[in-house]
Amino acid sequence: MNYTAVELIERKRDGLELSSDQIRWLISAFTSGEVTDYQMAAMAMAVYLRGLDHQELATWTDAMLHSGETLDLSGLEGPKVDKHSTGGVGDKVTIPLLPMVRACGVLAPTLTGRGLGHTGGTRDKLEAIPGLSTSLSSEQFMEVLRSHGMVYGGQSENLAPADAKLYALRDATGTVPSLPLIASSIMSKKLAEDLDGLVLDVKTGAGAFMPDPARARELAATMVGLGKAHGVRTTAFLTTMESPLGRQVGNASEIKESIAVLRGEGPGDLWEVVLALGAEMLLLADRAPDEPRARSMLTEAVRSGEALAVFEKVVEAQGGDPRVVENPSILPLAPRRAEVVAPAPGWVTGCHALTVGVAATRLGAGRERKEDSIDPGVGVTILAKPGDRVERGQALAEVAYREQSRWQSVRGLLAGAWSIGDEPPEPVPLMGERIRSSEMD
């Protein structure tokens, strides 16, 4: 096959279809280094602008999936179910959810990702725990999973390596919101896990990569279809990301909030998402007869302390300091504090998730460039959420920062994240439509 990267870039740029052979050559050549990062960045932009049709996307996803190793979990007894979110501000659901599901008898392997754009990555959050590593070989991944029934993995060099390379490029090239690139990225990793079931949390709203509900639904249906085509029972939820989820935005602070959930504490909106997704995971695993029973099982796993015990053991197994469970103060924390205050009395009518996410990224909680490092100790604590009554001068948020220059650069931006009105806002439903592979034609 005598293809060149330039030829294929131009073809997709001009809106023409790529053949299955062309796509498989492209992904293979990118994995091997024959196609350079800058060439694949150009292709990513062409795909962002022109899209991929159904057949192109199926081939692209399959090529990514088979660009390296895949996991074989057939030797493990019990149903294997994972969860994935398209990303949102303050979205730390995976961290408390997996131990809860494991405590209910479901194997919960996961491959976590780095932060993309204005949203934090679960992998970055977990690595705020001193010593914890998500960079596990396939052998290490399997050992933790066998021993504890769950694992917080990250993409290894050998598991869907084409996606790992492209994932980093998307963050630095303005192509993160591309529907086919999101769908193929998520599903190539998840299908490589040899799962029995998969639950997808597809965000929509101001802080989501797919703010338009119609586009978010298209993404959800696309991924459910890819899961069904590979024999994996898949469900997608559409959830609202207008405001940050929970009250913490920042890597170490979101670990603290996750531990609070595992103690039966934590904010109500975070609990709502955790229970909805967790209940669906138990249903896909045939561990509960209906949703109310599944929710009851998850709640009992927290009340009994079993879910927290699972989390502590997995943290230790992955090299992390298990003392973080009893003493979250060992997590890194930036030394400086500032407040964002209400300019007038009234009702909080909005807390713009995108603005908060961008501000946290610029403080150092996320990456604006591929090579940027993460500061796990910086972040924003949301003190006032939509529906709260505030007085003039009352703190809306507390900011933890390290560098004065970074705080000054986001001070005005962050102050504009809150809107205050004379009347309380109408509640916005958090959980939206549910799309199940079993209900698709």
Note the pLDDT of residue 105.
97
pLDDT band with cut points at 50, 70 and 90 for residue 87 = confident
pLDDT band with cut points at 50, 70 and 90 for residue 370 = low
Which conformational region is residue 111 in: left (phi greater than 0), alpha (psi within -120 to 50 degrees), or beta? beta
Model confidence pLDDT, tens digit, residues 143-184: 999 999 999 998 666 777 898 889 878 878 888 888 899 899
- Percentage of the chain lying above the pLDDT 70 cut: 98
Q: Is the pLDDT of residue 312 over 80?
A: yes
Other CB atoms closer than 10 Å to residue 422's CB: what's the count? 9
pLDDT band with cut points at 50, 70 and 90 for residue 71 = confident
Task: For residues 101 and 117, give the distance between their C-alpha atoms in angstroms, rounded to a whole number.
Answer: 29
64-73, 121-130, 274-283: which has the minimum mean pLDDT?
64-73
Q: Is the pLDDT of residue 335 over 90?
A: yes
Instruction: Please list the active-site residues.
Output: 84, 163, 170, 185, 189
Task: For residues 320 and 312, give the distance between their C-alpha atoms in angstroms, rounded to a whole number.
Answer: 9
Provide the mean pLDDT of the chain.
93
Note the pLDDT of residue 170.
86
Note the pLDDT of residue 207.
85
HSE-up of residue 78 (Cα within 13 Å, Cβ side): 19
Note the pLDDT of residue 1.
66
Q: Give CA angle at 136 (139, 248), nearest 5°.
A: 145
In this prediction, residues 221-230 reach a mean pLDDT of 92
Q: Strand, coil or helix: what is 254?
A: helix
In this prediction, residues 377-400 reach a mean pLDDT of 97
Whether pTM > 0.85 for this model: the answer is yes
DSSP assignment of 270-297? HHHHHHHHHHHHHHHTT--SSHHHHHHH
In this prediction, residues 281-286 reach a mean pLDDT of 98
63-72, 152-161, 291-300: which has the minimum mean pLDDT?
152-161
Q: Which residues of 388-412 are buried (b: 16+ CB within 10 A; e: fewer)?
A: bebeeeeebbebbbbeeebbeebee
Asked if 391 and 345 touch (Cβ cutoff 8 Å), the reply is yes
Note the pLDDT of residue 70.
84
Q: Is the pLDDT of residue 387 over 80?
A: yes
Task: For residues 407 and 405, give the distance between their C-alpha atoms in angstroms, rounded to a whole number.
Answer: 5
